[in-house]
Amino acid sequence: MNYTLRQPLSDATPIDRLLDRLLSGADPLGPAQAHRMGHGDGDHEHGEGDPEADILAQFAEQADDLHERVVHDHGIFVAEFLGATGSGKTRLIERLIERAPDDEEIGVIVGDVAGEDDATRFRELGVSVANVNTGKECHLDPGLVEDALAELDLDALDTLYIENVGNMVCPADFPLGAQARVLVVSATEGDDVVRKHPLLFQACDGAVINKVDIADAVNADLDLMESDVSEIAPEMPTFRTSAEHGDGLDDLAGYLEERGHVHASDHEAYVAGTEHSHSHEVEHTHTHE
Ligand code: MG
């Protein structure tokens, strides 16, 4: 098959690209605002002496800047959906778009390794779409999202959905500044999928167990999946859906709406939450060294 890539395939990982910027003398974060959202210079002491932790901390700060710009400067509600390829992320977002009021202006940033398949589906729903082909990268990072934002009219948007690349490992280290990070797993991934990916669950705000309509056919124990979520991330709200048939979407949509309202009235809670997840992410890196 002959694919047209929006961006050339590259071996460079996000860390390679950040190192390139550092070595070239450029500010690695662009016009980063050190004191935005209360993240002063002293806030990244966990990264001292560890270049990889430093770099991850810089990505986290870049995500905070994105958050500040999109959520606060433009007043857009941002939800990120992540999870394995085939978990149903695209279908879930489609269902949320279909049920949105006519006057809600929606944009979607679609991350996929290659191709326009998901972007085409969203365009057919009449929303604004920025397609990001990551080539050999297994996740979006704040720089890729920043580039994609240039294709969207931020003054017009009310809601921005970000669909991450299908992957259950790499996105944990790369927050994108969303008010809600929603991890989608499906019954077809095996009912042990949750316990196999604790770090990603701990890096997210909400969980969806999708394809519940075919759980019996694949012998998946949905109660086990849900109890694994409560064990790994006790505060995490979990929603059972069949995105294909539109079941279970009311609760998920209600949660997202509430998340937007809570965020608007309690920005400090968001900042505390992201600081928690930043330190968690750095710990995660250490355990693999
Ligand atoms: Mg998809």
The amino acid at residue 177 is: G
Rounded Cα distance, 14 and 139, in Å: 9
CATH for the stretch 70-264 = 3.40.50.300
Q: Compute, in angstroms, the gap from residue 117 CA to the centroid of ligand 1.
A: 8
Q: What is the band of 269 on the pLDDT scale with cuts at 50, 70, 90?
A: low
Distance between Cα 26 and ligand 1 center (Å):
34
Residue 184 φ/ψ, nearest 5 degrees: -105, 120
Q: What's the 110 CA to ligand 1 centre distance in angstroms?
A: 8
* pLDDT per position as a tens digit, 149-180: 999 999 999 999 999 999 999 999 999 999 99
Q: Please tell me the predicted confidence (pLDDT) of residue 262.
A: 75
Which residues fall within 8 angstroms of residue 31, CB to CB, at 6 or more apart? none
Tell me the CA–centroid distance for residue 235 and ligand 1, in Å. 27
What is the arithmetic mean of pLDDT over 12-38? Answer: 51
What's the gap in Å between 41 CA and the centre of ligand 1? 37
User: How is 155-224 classified by DSSP, letter by letter?
Assistant: TT-SEEEEE--S-SSGGGG-----SEEEEEEEGGG-TTTTTT-HHHHHT-SEEEEE-GGGTTTTT--HHH
Ligand 1 centroid distance, CA of 109 (Å): 11
List the one residue out of 117, 85, 111 whose CA is nearest residue 7: 111
Q: What percent of the chain has pLDDT over 70?
A: 74
pLDDT digits (tens, 9 = 90+) for 174-233: 999 999 999 999 999 999 999 999 999 999 999 999 999 999 999 999 999 999 999 999
| Structural Rg of the chain based on CA atoms | 18
Q: How far is the CA of 162 from the centre of ligand 1 (A)?
A: 10
Could you tell me which of 239, 242, 58 has the C-alpha nearest to residue 141?
58
Contact yes or no for 206/236 (Cβ under 8 A): yes
Burial class (CB in 10 A: 0-12, 13-18, 19+), 261: exposed
The Å distance, Cα 159 to ligand 1 centre, comes to 18
Q: Work out the burial of residue 280: count CB atoms within 10 Å of its CB; fewer than 13 is exposed, 13-18 middle, 19 or more buried.
A: middle
Q: Who contacts 235 (Cβ-Cβ below 8 Å, separation ≥6)?
A: none
pLDDT in tens, 113-154: 999 999 999 999 999 999 999 999 999 999 999 999 999 999
The alpha carbon of 94 and the centre of ligand 1 are apart by a number of angstroms equal to: 10
CA distance 95 to 114: 23
Question: How far is the centre of ligand 1, averaged over its atoms, from the C-alpha of 39 (Å)?
Answer: 33
Summarize the confidence of residues 237-243 as an average pLDDT.
98
DSSP 8-state class, residue 119: H
Please give the distance, rounded to the nearest whole angstrom, from the Cα atom of residue 24 to the centre of ligand 1.
Answer: 35
153-191 per-residue burial string, b: 16 or more CB within 10 A, e: under 16:
eeeebbbbbbbbbbbbebbbbbbbbbbbbbbbbbbbbeb
Helix or strand or coil: residue 62? helix
Q: Is the pTM of this model over 0.85?
A: no
